[in-house]
Amino acid sequence: MNTRNLIPTALAVVLLPWSLAQAASLGDVAGSLGGLGNLSSVSSSSSGNVAGLLEYCAKNNYLNADAATQVKDKLLGKLPGNTTTSDSGYKDGAKGILTGSDGKSLDLSGSGIKEKVTKQVCDKVLSQGKSLL
């Protein structure tokens, strides 16, 4: 086997259990590897975090930018002060960090399976944002 192929394979084997443990510890956000659809319990703990996540999802092309920005702007309009600079939930969300109501965080940045899960989480966050309006 070529060394160039061996390193990514070894990394995948080493990191897979950690990735699965992360998903399980966050309320099985990703569901099973085959399903990737069990996201019914995913929700953010604050409107500021939802707004930040919508910015992240739009900026990274997980959501339609116009739709996400409309909801984000309306949410920001309902929040006190300058949320974009003062709210830690918003700042975390804008970096792709979802903070759940249980206090646990999920970093949505990444690729591969995580990218597929991120798309689904972004869709769920958009629905949650609309319900907060």
- Over residues 80-121, the pLDDT tens digits come to 877 677 888 999 999 999 888 878 888 888 766 678 888 888
Q: Which tops the pLDDT comparison, 79 or 63?
A: 63
Query: What is the value of pTM for the model shown?
Result: 0.65
**pLDDT computed for residue 35 by the predictor:** 33
**pLDDT computed for residue 39 by the predictor:** 55
Count of domains observed in the chain: 1
Range of the domain at 14: 3-131
**pLDDT computed for residue 56 by the predictor:** 95
CA dist list (Å): 91 to 52, 131, 132: 6, 21, 19
Q: Which tops the pLDDT comparison, 79 or 67?
A: 67
